[in-house]
Amino acid sequence: MQTLTHTLLPQLSAQGHPRNPGMPLDLDWVASAQANTSAIERRAATLPGRRSVKKDHQAAWLCKAVSLIDLTTLSGDDTAGRVQRLCAKARQPVAPWMLERLGMTGLTTGAVCVYHDMVATAVRALEGTAIPVAAVSTGFPAGLSPLHLRLAEIGESVADGAAEIDIVISRRHVLTQNWQALYDETAAMRAACGEAHMKAILATGELGTLRNVARASLVCMMAGADFIKTSTGKEGVNATLPVTLTMVRAIRDYEDRTGFKVGYKPAGGIAKAKDALVYLSMMKDELGHDWLQPDLFRFGASSLLGDIERQLEHHLTGAYSAANRHAMG
């Protein structure tokens, strides 16, 4: 079998682009942001059928998707053992025999994402790797605890070794169009993150309209978000293609005006390898090759990895394995 080439599977290292420093809140720009819902939905409906990759090319794209996954456990019954097993999976996300036949080495997931209490456990389990630990902070998932407690939680997660912080915004500020309050809170959380990169979760399923999604995206980027993220995974509606188009076009507008790149993370509801391929092709079409790297794009998913493994095994053997052969931990 022909091995995967570097032209098909680019290097997984970070691009080294400058970090988004944020900017003063520009209310005129925010007010001018619109979203043509019907046009966005029509475009989104065409995406699953617009790109088709097969055989070795599809395997290369699926390996790329693995490198972009934030392998996540956010359950009330999380234990140290579960997190340690998840970290072992992040280190070795695909069976060695499959990687050998694919001509792949050094493949890991993009990050491991846990609650604050499990940050130190994950950091210890990932020692010796370049896999960052991301912590969900700021009263996740509702984000309704007092601001000083949310900021303190960020500080404790950073002190425990989290390299990335997934914060949740106050949805009420979006719903009441209080952009100054949203900006001030997000900027304060960005400052609390320090060197840790901040992903701002918009909880788009609770924002009402795509216009609200577009405006909230801009405000969070102005406040210094390194990533904007769709969902906590706990809402009734999580990542969708129309929301993604709205957010990535806000990212494109922000780069056009400021010169700074901001990452994107769809989360919740992305469980199939075919869905990952749609998102990857859309990111390349809308934002370009830089957004196919883990410093600018992540999947907030865990079950996705299991389906990708099954598809890779089918590619290599011609047979589908049982899902329980690809457990997360």
Structure token digits, residue 224: 């210094």
The one catalytic residue in 89, 265, 295, 307 is 265
Structure token digits, residue 228: 């904007």
User: What's the CA gap between 111 and 241, in Å, rounded?
Assistant: 23
Distances (CA, A) of 213 to 21, 102, 138, 265: 21, 40, 20, 14
| Bridge-based pairing state of the strands 299-300 and 164-168 | unpaired
The one catalytic residue in 166, 226, 275, 307 is 166
The one catalytic residue in 229, 261, 275, 307 is 229
Q: Is 175 helix (H, G, I), strand (E, B) or coil?
A: helix
Active site residue 229: yes
CB contact set of 189 (below 8 Å; sequence gap of 6+): 138, 150, 151, 154, 165, 167, 198
Largest CA distance in the chain: 58
User: What's the CA gap between 76 and 315, in Å, rounded?
Assistant: 36
Active site residue 166: yes
Please tell me the chain's helix, strand, coil percentages from 3-state DSSP, rounded to the nearest 5: 50, 10, 40
CB 146 within 8 A of CB 161: no
Active site residue 265: yes
Structure token digits, residue 271: 């469980």
The residue type at 158: V
CB 186 within 8 A of CB 223: yes
Q: Which one, of 129, 7, 68, 4, lies nearest residue 308 by Cα?
A: 68
- Active site positions, annotated: 166, 229, 265
